[in-house]
Structure 1
Amino acid sequence: MHKLFRMAKSILHHDVEVEDAIGETICKAYSRLDSLRSLESFKPWVMKILINEYYGTLTYDLKLRMEEQIVIPLR
């Protein structure tokens, strides 16, 4: 669990975002346990879920920011 926290903290920096990312990662990992191939690959598997969660959040945030910057000219 410490390695998961350190990885999230190195990516996200803010404690609230770290806690959210870890919570989402644990929920997703639990719901996808059937896709885990072996117990030995658990740690890298969970880390990959965390990283994918970060990139998904980042992509969503960037889309929101871009939508906010779009200005529709008035005629």
Structure 2
Amino acid sequence: MPGFFKKRDASKKKAFLAQVEPIKNKLYRTAFLYVKNKHDATDIVQETMFKAYQNYENVRSIEAFNTWITKILIHSALDFIRKQKRLVIHEEIDEAPFIHSELSTEVVNHLALKEALETLDYETRTAIILRYYYDFKIKDIAETLNTPEGM
């Protein structure tokens, strides 16, 4: 089945960038959730963009693009982690005085959630990130992780 994005190089580049622009920060944050390092996350996003651009004409529809590129990103992040075979060093959070107690409670909750996510295996963590961060449907999560929907 021919891809949705059969175009000449100039228009392919323009179409690709138009699809990536609204989600590039979300892709970076997702990569960072896996590797906990700004430089490594940037490298993973760049590798994802390269792989996605090379295979852009294989995307079946505009609607499938976000799921497709997120799947590439997750596989790139997991490959990176496997290659590193080292403990991920957490970047320190800049400490700043908090004026509002509500804000500090929010930060504490955010850190607790982040810490809880780190205790999960990669597949479970990925499923949670895709469901609650990207708002993926169960079907799309199962497809991304190559698992049955009920697992």
Q: TM-score, normalised by structure 2?
A: 0.39
RMSD between superposed Cα atoms in Å: 1.3
Check the 8 A contact 2:35/2:81 in 1, yes or no. Answer: no
Query: Out of 71, 77, 89, which is 1:54 matched to?
Result: 77
Q: CA deviation at 1:7?
A: 0.7
Q: 1:70: which partner in 2?
A: none
Q: CA deviation at 1:59?
A: 2.2
Tell me if 1:13 matches 2:36: yes
Alignment of 1:33-72 (within 5 A): 33-62=56-85
Whichever structure has more helix as a proportion of its residues is: 1
Identity, % of aligned pairs?
A: 32
CA–CA separation in structure 2 for the residues paired with 1:61 and 1:10: 16
Q: Which has the larger radius of gyration?
A: 2
CA–CA separation in structure 1 for the residues paired with 2:77 and 2:30: 11
Q: CA deviation at 1:13?
A: 1.0
**Matched positions, count:** 63
- Answer 1 or 2: higher relative contact order, Cα 8 Å, separation at least 6: 1
Q: TM-score, normalised by structure 1?
A: 0.75
CA–CA separation in structure 1 for the residues paired with 2:38 and 2:80: 15
CA–CA separation in structure 1 for the residues paired with 2:82 and 2:62: 31
Extract structure 1 runs of 4+ deviating beyond 3 A. Answer: none
Summarize deviations over 1:10-48 as a string: whole Å, max 9, x none: 111100001100000000000011221111111111111
